[in-house]
């Protein structure tokens, strides 16, 4: 038997999930924009070393950590997310760069 509190919690959780889905859709739109830019960058780089660019990766990580801290978001989560995303984009950019070389 459900209590009133349990029903309220389920309804609240359902609403939170809807909001998360909306945020995810916004994030995918931004990832698509980032991908378009990565594809352009891939055509402009001379070799795989320029694509991997570890110093640039660390600049991006430092930047997003700083933004996260300023917005009171867990910088560890942001860094982990960005490292995974960057790795995936490096693989994509390497493919783009190989086709333009």
Mean pLDDT of the chain: 95
Q: Is 100 helix (H, G, I), strand (E, B) or coil?
A: helix
DSSP E strands, the chain: none
2-50 residue pLDDT tens: 899 999 999 999 999 999 999 999 999 999 999 999 999 989 988 999 9
pTM tops 0.85, yes or no: yes
17-27 residue pLDDT tens: 999 999 999 99
Task: Go through the domains of the chain in sequence order and give each one's CATH number.
Answer: 4-100 (1.20.59.10)
Asked whether 59 and 7 are in contact (CB, 8 A), the reply is: no
Rounded to an integer, what distance in angstroms lies between the CA atom of residue 48 and that of residue 30? 25
């Amino acid at each position: 038997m459900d209590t009133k509190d349990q029903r309220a919690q389920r309804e609240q959780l359902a609403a939170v999930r809807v909001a998360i889905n909306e945020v995810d859709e916004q994030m995918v739109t931004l990832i698509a924009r980032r991908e378009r830019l990565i594809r352009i960058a891939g055509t402009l780089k001379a070799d795989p070393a320029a694509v991997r660019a570890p110093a640039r990766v660390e600049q991006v990580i430092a930047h997003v950590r700083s933004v996260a801290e300023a917005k009171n978001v867990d910088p560890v989560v942001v860094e982990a997310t960005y490292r995974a995303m960057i790795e995936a984009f490096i693989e994509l950019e390497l493919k783009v760069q190989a086709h333009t070389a």
